[in-house]
Amino acid sequence: MDWQTLIAAGIVIVTLTIFLVRLVRPQQRGGCGHDCGCGKK
Amino acid sequence: MHAASESPSTIALIGNPNTGKTTLFNALTGANAKIGNYSGVTVDIKSGETYTPHGKKLRVLDLPGCYSLRAPSPDEQVAVDALTGDLPGYAKPDLVVCVLDASNLERHLQLALQVIALQIPTILALNMVDMAEKSGLRLDPAKLAAELGVPVVPMQASAGKGIIELKQALRFPFPSAAHAMWVPGTDDAEDTRRTFIRNLCELAARRPDAHQLTFADQLDDWLLHPVWGWVAFFAIMFAVFWGIFSFARIPMGWIESAQGVVAGGVESLMPAGDLRSLLVDGVLGGVGGVVVFLPQIVLLFFFIGLLESSGYMARAAYLMDGVMSRAGLSGKAFLPLFSSYACAIPGVMASRTIGSAKERLATIFIAPWMSCSARLPVYFLIVPLLLHENEGSWKQALVLFAIYTLGTLSAFVVARVLRRKLGPDHTAHHFMLELPPYRWPQWRYIFRHVLERGGSFVAKAGTIILGISILLWALSTYPKADGDGADALAASAMGRIGAVIEPVVRPLGFDGRVGTAILTSFAAREVFNSSLAVLFRVDEAAGEEATRNSLRDRLALAKWPDGTPLFTPLSIISLLVFYIYALQCLPTSVVVAKEAGSWKWALGQLAFMSGFAYAASLGVFQIGKLLGF
């Protein structure tokens, strides 16, 4: 495996881990979860 | 000392809708909450902090606007509960600042008197005195204060005038509660209040003897006219869409050029390999496919801010009331539905202003069919495929206008059917619309709001869209196979998913790649662009030169295996129709479940809208084919 493949695979694994952690992490307080203008962030 | 004694005193801002409570809240706390020159912008309590002239910290609550303390709608009930200390998590306020529009004292004093009668220390903030004086009203705040027994502070919150005087009035100890001398303790309290207000206004807010037809009155004669009003409405909306397409072209070109320069730089610095492909095709292609539409998003919010701030939006609500009633909705549903054009989430939340539970459910159900800003990157990518920019921005603007109209009219038809199914209300609900005066747009707030929305768009592209683009790139690259770009893509996980999906989407005129992009955009619509950028990074019919072109150029060159073009006018219209109707936004479903009080509504809405989108797209493509297009 060349160095480019290794680094690219590492980036993909880190990204996937972040998504999974965010998915299983308990939600914080209500609101839309985005800066949609609803007053909650 | 008790912990409770150290907690800051609480002051609550209350008043009729559109009196400038949130503007005052922002001025007191330095916050940047959304404001607008129409009623019902605030549907929840906002909390912030401010300091008295002696440095004592105060907690400031911005309550939703209400006309009376006999609250019929959920948001007004929140305001009443907050005042009486019945709202969980909020202590009874130590002081109430009742914000009044100085031009409409006769109406707004009704609420003020009810608040004073609660025996909570009260200050009256007489807002927008500049507008009142311009209309010829002669105000006497000192007389008003003497008659009501509470401090009265004249102010113009939008210009920061009177804020220091109000803060001085907040100094400890707070003024004691006034004795409500106009409440005789009999059943005709309302008549007594009305008489008291009439007499008070004759003393302290005298109008000129002869009624003068102001410029605003003359303008309203046109803008609220049953025929010319609609002509003006359509002309304004068309001008907005034309402006978006015309003005955004130059900055879009800059973003695309910058993207090309960075991609070229990476390609010249790195040898061919997976990391280079990830950076150029995954990150730059995926994120760039969304970010390139930032100018349009910024322009849309600028125009919306302009229309809101000037007071035109309330006129549009007045015009729409007749149309809404035919759909079984009242004018109260206008603001939630209008908010949904920016984002369905605040729109669904704004439905709290609707008193009727059944009307509220119908409004929540159709809100996602108002084309939200997340759909725009998809429309801006697809519409120029249908009509090249050389054909003129006005034609593209016309298509965009038709998209918005189709979504809105379809929503009204569904609302009418749903309202019939839900049955009539047991109690009557009335809609009262206050037409605000025309005002010069508040540029500071418009630009802050535009900056906030643009920043939010870029932040989303830099986090969620970036992450999804990286994962999409991995799915379209692995497992690897020998051969050229098209064969490698067919062998990848995404290629295999596309092969499974293709039979489902082919009757709509799409291939497996477009089907996969639709599937990946179920979490958020903008991902459609990122997926297309990753999936169409190499076109089988085009050489190396084509891969450097914009995503739109690559889509225009895409072909079916038999060599016929993939994107024909009919398949593009079919795709547009799909995106008008599909509910592809997970956060919206979560908020709908919360606001409707049941996941049944959220899942039913998702199933209905997805099914309708598929059926409508299928109908368009198949009927179009039969007609020979």
What token pair was written down for A18? Answer: 């972040």
Spans of all domains in chain B = 9-206, 236-422, 460-626
* pLDDT at residue B103, as a whole number: 84
Q: Which long-range contacts (CB under 8 A, 24 or more apart) does B512-516 make?
A: B513/B558, B514/B566, B514/B575
β-strand partners of B138: B206
Query: Closest by alpha carbon to B513, among B582, B549, B481, B559?
Result: B559
> Both ends of chain A: CA-CA distance in Å?
43
- B273-325: pLDDT as tens digits: 899 999 998 898 888 888 888 888 888 888 888 888 888 888 888 888 888 88
Residues of B in contact with A8 (CB under 8 A): 273-275, 277-278
Q: Does B587 contact A18 at a Cβ distance shorter than 8 Å?
A: no
What is the arithmetic mean of pLDDT over B550-578? 90
Q: Does B274 contact A4 at a Cβ distance shorter than 8 Å?
A: yes
Please classify residue B143 by burial: count the beta carbons closer than 10 Å to its beta carbon, then call 0-12 exposed, 13-18 middle and 19+ buried: middle
CB-based contact B516:B349 (threshold 8 Å): no
- B163-177: pLDDT as tens digits: 888 888 887 666 676
**Which among A16-20, B243-247, B387-391 has the top mean pLDDT?**
A16-20
C-alpha span between B627 and B318 (Å, rounded): 41
What token pair was written down for B155? Answer: 């102010």
What is the arithmetic mean of pLDDT over B54-71? 81
What token pair was written down for B140? Answer: 């006497």
Classify strands B95-101 and B122-127 as parallel, antiparallel or unpaired.
parallel
Phi, psi values for residue B431, rounded to 5°: -110, 120
* pLDDT at residue A7, as a whole number: 95
Evaluate if residue B541 carries a pLDDT over 70.
no
Evaluate if residue B31 carries a pLDDT over 80.
no
What token pair was written down for B585? Answer: 């936004």
CB-based contact B68:B15 (threshold 8 Å): no
What is the arithmetic mean of pLDDT over B230-239? 91
* pLDDT at residue B319, as a whole number: 86
Evaluate if residue B229 carries a pLDDT over 70.
yes
> Both ends of chain B: CA-CA distance in Å?
81
Residue from the list B277, B345, B473 with its beta carbon closest to the beta carbon of A38 = B345
Q: Does B452 contact A7 at a Cβ distance shorter than 8 Å?
A: no
Q: What type of residue is B513?
A: R
Question: Which of B278, B297, B475 to probe by mutation at the A interface, max A CB count within 10 Å?
Answer: B278
Q: What residues of B are in the A interface, CB distance below 8 Å?
A: 33-34, 42, 44, 46, 270-271, 273-278, 342-343, 345-346, 349, 449, 452-453, 455-456, 459-460, 467, 470-471, 473-474, 587, 590-591, 594
Interchain CB contact of A13 with B (< 8 Å): no
Q: Does A7 contact B275 at a Cβ distance shorter than 8 Å?
A: yes
Interchain CB contact of A2 with B (< 8 Å): yes
In Å, what is the CA distance from B422 to each residue of B322, B337, B416, B528, B595?
Answer: 21, 19, 10, 35, 17
Pairwise pLDDT comparison (B212 vs A23), residue with the higher score: A23
In Å, what is the CA distance from B551 to each residue of B99, B182, B619?
Answer: 52, 70, 28
Work out the percent of chain B whose per-residue pLDDT is above 90. 23
The DSSP code sequence of B85-96 is: T-STT-PPPSEE
* pLDDT at residue B545, as a whole number: 45
| Residue with the two structure tokens 């322009």 | B299
Evaluate if residue B546 carries a pLDDT over 90.
no
B60, containing H or E segment:
strand B57-62
Evaluate if residue B224 carries a pLDDT over 50.
yes
pTM confidence score: 0.72
**Rg of chain B over CA atoms, in angstroms?**
28
CB-based contact B87:B64 (threshold 8 Å): no
Beta-carbon count within 10 A of B204 CB = 22
C-alpha span between B467 and B580 (Å, rounded): 26
- B487-538: pLDDT as tens digits: 788 888 988 998 999 999 999 999 999 999 998 887 778 889 888 888 887 5
Beta-carbon count within 10 A of A7 CB = 14
Work out the percent of chain B whose per-residue pLDDT is above 70. 88
* pLDDT at residue B52, as a whole number: 81
User: Average pLDDT over chain B, rounded to whole?
Assistant: 83
What is the arithmetic mean of pLDDT over B193-212? 77
Shortest alpha-carbon distance between residue B588 and chain A (Å): 8
The gap from C-alpha B444 to its chain's centroid, in whole angstroms, comes to: 19
C-alpha span between B214 and B222 (Å, rounded): 13
The DSSP code sequence of B571-585 is: HHHHHHHHHHH---B
Evaluate if residue B552 carries a pLDDT over 90.
no
In Å, what is the CA distance from B11 to each residue of A38, B90, B133?
Answer: 22, 11, 28
* Exposed e or buried b per residue across B52-77, where buried means at least 16 C-beta atoms within 10 angstroms of its C-beta: beeeeebbbbbbbbbbebebebbbbb
- B65-123: pLDDT as tens digits: 888 777 566 667 777 888 888 877 778 888 899 999 888 888 888 888 888 888 888 99
Work out the percent of chain A whose per-residue pLDDT is above 70. 61
Helix (H, G, I), strand (E, B) or coil at B48: strand
- B422-453: pLDDT as tens digits: 887 766 666 667 777 788 888 887 888 888 88
- For chain B, how many residues are written? 629
pLDDT confidence band for B615 (50 / 70 / 90): very high
What is the arithmetic mean of pLDDT over B16-28? 85
B533, containing H or E segment:
helix B527-535
What token pair was written down for B160? Answer: 């920061």
- B365-399: pLDDT as tens digits: 999 999 888 888 899 889 888 887 677 778 888 89
Classify strands B138-139 and B205-206 as parallel, antiparallel or unpaired.
antiparallel
C-alpha span between B583 and B560 (Å, rounded): 28
The domain B9-206 is classified under which CATH number: 3.40.50.970, 3.10.20.30, 3.40.50.300, 3.40.250.10? 3.40.50.300
Phi, psi values for residue B545, rounded to 5°: -60, -40
CB-based contact B345:B587 (threshold 8 Å): yes
Sequence-distant (6+) residues with CB within 8 A of B495 are B476, B489, B512
The DSSP code sequence of B223-288 is: HTSTTHHHHHHHHHHHHHHHHHHHHHHHHHHHHHHHHHHHHHHHHHHS-SSHHHHIIIIIIIHHHH
Q: What type of residue is B1?
A: M
Question: Which of B78, B274, B450, B458 to probe by mutation at the A interface, max A CB count within 10 Å?
Answer: B274
Sequence-distant (6+) residues with CB within 8 A of B297 are B373, B376, B377, B453, B454, B457
